[in-house]
Amino acid sequence: MRTQTSLAGIYAAAITPIHEDGSLDLESLPVYLDFLANRGCHGALILGTTGEGPSFSPDERDAILKAGIGVLNSQRDFVLFAGTGTPSLHETICLTKTAFDIGYQGVVVLPPYYFKSVSDDGLFSWFSALIQQAVPEKGALFVYHIPAVSGVAISLELLSRLKSKFPDQLVGIKDSSGDPIYGSKLIKKFRNDLTILTGNDRFITETLNGGGSGCITALANTLSPMIRKLWDAFHHAEDTTLFQEYLIQARTIAEKLGPFPPLIKALLPLQHNLPTWSVRPPLTPFTKDQANKLLRDLNSINYEAIN
């Protein structure tokens, strides 16, 4: 069985490069992931919420996963997670198999998100079938808890049942609920048994202090050096207050202007001279005025934590 810390780290919820005409820019994906690795990320989640995973067809997701693995040619220690959850159990099984077959270290799986009032029994059956048919003995499955988006919550009781039945394959959870009460209960109950990664930059220090394992966040695309400084300070028993306060302010600004995929894609050309990538409908790109305002707002934050 893996240790709780074997996949701990700072992960970016990576964007998916898309040309202006809506086609995939597959050649840029491993280059972008290399950029993240060089800025302090331990790894990345491909095809999560920030990666617009649900906006792509099964064939497109397959192609994106295969393109992303190219980063391992230059960054052998970089950890790759694949977002493989869909409302279809069969489709989720196929995507999950593909991810493990081509070398992803783990999958982050949304619950089936069409039917909103399903029982824990139904979710237990769904995840059990997925694990039994698609997650190898040494594969790592993370449950993705983001009820504000999926409409389906992951209860602590469901996690207990799944962990009991699949102690090796159920490795962790990405908690993007933004609910500090749920997060506190989650860490208290599972900190010795699951790799707990927060999806909200506000709670990185709180997660680490409680015994959690790190984060997977959208802002790690642009603020990974800051988040890595926080990570390193924590693990050297140093004060993380300034870093965390900066991230809270940045997250507050970003959430007022979301959703995150067009927001991150607006920042990258301005901050790092990267290509201007588009988004898939129903999302719309930021205008130049929106992007410049976002950058001004972020630049207004006290930079003492960086210097």
**Catalytic residue flag (residue 182):** no
The Cα–Cα gap between 166 and 54 comes to: 26
14 token code pair: 């990576």
User: Quick check: is 104 catalytic?
Assistant: no
The residue annotated as part of the active site, out of 49, 86, 98, 198, is 49
From the candidates 163, 174, 229, 265, give the one annotated as an active-site residue: 174
Q: Cα separation of 161 and 24, whole Å?
A: 39
* Active-site residue, 144 included: yes
Q: Using one digit for the tens of pLDDT, what is the confidence trace for 132-159?
A: 999 999 999 999 999 999 999 999 999 9
Question: Catalytic: which of 11, 113, 144, 246?
Answer: 144
Q: Which helix (H) or strand (E) holds 109?
A: strand 106-109
Is a pLDDT exceeding 60 seen at residue 306? Answer: no
Question: In this structure, are residues 33 and 68 in contact, taking their beta carbons and an 8 Å threshold?
Answer: yes
Please give the span between the terminal C-alpha atoms of the chain, in angstroms, as a whole number: 41
* Residue-by-residue DSSP string for 35-81: HHHHTT-SEEEESSTTTTGGGS-HHHHHHHHHHHGGGGGT-TT-EEE
Does the annotation count 116 as an active-site position?
no
pLDDT digits (tens, 9 = 90+) for 20-33: 999 999 999 999 99
Q: How far apart are CA 224 and CA 206, in angstroms?
A: 18
Provide the pLDDT confidence category of residue 162 given band limits of 50, 70 and 90.
very high
Q: What are phi and psi of 24, to 5 degrees?
A: -75, 140
Residue 2: band (very low, low, confident or very high) from pLDDT cuts 50, 70, 90: very low
Which residues make beta-bridge pairs with 109?
143
- How much is the pTM? 0.95
- Please give the share of the chain, as a percent, with pLDDT higher than 90: 90
**What are the structural domains, with CATH classification, of the chain?**
9-229 (3.20.20.70)
